[in-house]
Amino acid sequence: MRFLITSTPRFPIPPELATTLLSAMNDWVKRYTASKKIEQMWGFVNGGGGGVLTVASHEELNAILSEMPFTPFSDTRAEPLIPIEVGLNNFRQAMARMTQPANR
């Protein structure tokens, strides 16, 4: 299962925690990149960032995001991803079902 994760600042980080949180975030990214759970990771110019994670379950995603050091200070969203071909095919089939004449 692949998810697009975005995280934006919600609360200011206490200055006395900044160095510790940055170090912990760097370790978190390295750990999950090495394990192939993080496919991509980037930062946003105005703070926060995002990435693509691959996990076996929603529970695994929750566990990984719960360990993210900036979680208490951020609004984090997880959007499930599917290949575009699958999404387009699903939409095509749904539209075909909706446009069929009703059976009486």
Q: Answer yes or no: is 15 within a domain.
A: yes
What is the phi/psi pair of residue 25, to 5°? -65, -40
Q: Answer yes or no: is 18 within a domain.
A: yes
Q: Answer yes or no: is 40 within a domain.
A: yes
Residue 63 maps to which CATH number? 3.30.70.1060
Question: Model-level pTM?
Answer: 0.83
Indicate the number of domains in the chain: 1
Predicted local confidence at residue 104, as pLDDT? 62
Confidence of residue 102 (pLDDT cuts 50, 70, 90): confident
Q: Answer yes or no: is 48 within a domain.
A: yes
Tens digit of pLDDT for each residue in 30-45? 999 999 999 999 999 9
Q: Answer yes or no: is 69 within a domain.
A: yes
Q: Answer yes or no: is 29 within a domain.
A: yes
Q: Answer yes or no: is 104 within a domain.
A: no
Residue 38 is part of which domain span? 2-99
CA–CA separation, 54 and 66 (whole Å):
15
